[in-house]
Amino acid sequence: MDSLPVDPLEKLIGLFDSARDQARAVGDMLESGRPAETLTERLREQADTMVRFQALLAEFRPEQSRKARSEIKRRVEDMRTQFEDLVKVTEANHRLASKKGVRLSGLGGKPHTSPAPPIRRAPEDG
């Protein structure tokens, strides 16, 4: 029996959920006091997931989905509201990882610069 290909919206939501779960796991690891070197692989996995999510999001077209337009709109709106939380968790993780000495901006020399516009950062507490 042939299975239908995964709906593009479901793939997008699956990657988003993975990124969110990975961000929470990294945050838990950072807060538990784990040594910085134990975080590197997890951070790479999270970064890879986000790159795949961004690529799929850039290619996503609602007409490719088998879902009803109203469901697509609702689910994309759900992701949009949850995305703000994902960004906040990821930024907090970045700050904590940097404090632990995990270098997140390249292998040396100048930090990596993204062609994307800078992300507006939430004010730091304290």
**Quick check: is 1 in a domain?**
no
Closest CA to 58 of 119, 113, 116: 116
Average pLDDT per 10 consecutive residues for the chain, totaling 126 residues:
74 92 90 79 85 89 86 90 88 82 58 55 62
How many structural domains are present in the chain? 1
Evaluate whether 70 touches 3 at the Cβ level (below 8 Å).
no
- Give the integer Cα–Cα distance in Å for 86 and 49: 13
CA distances from 57 to 11, 52, 95, 120, 121 (A): 10, 8, 26, 20, 22
Distance from C-alpha of 79 to C-alpha of 71, rounded to nearest angstrom:
12
Paired tokens of 116: 């994307």
Q: Which two tokens stand for residue 70?
A: 């109203």
Q: Which domain holds residue 45?
A: 8-99
Whether 60 maps to a domain, the answer reads yes
The first and second tokens of residue 59, run together, are 């290619």
Residue 119 domain flag? no
Whether the CB-CB separation of 112 and 105 falls below 8 Å is answered with yes
The answer to whether residue 110 sits within a structural domain is: no
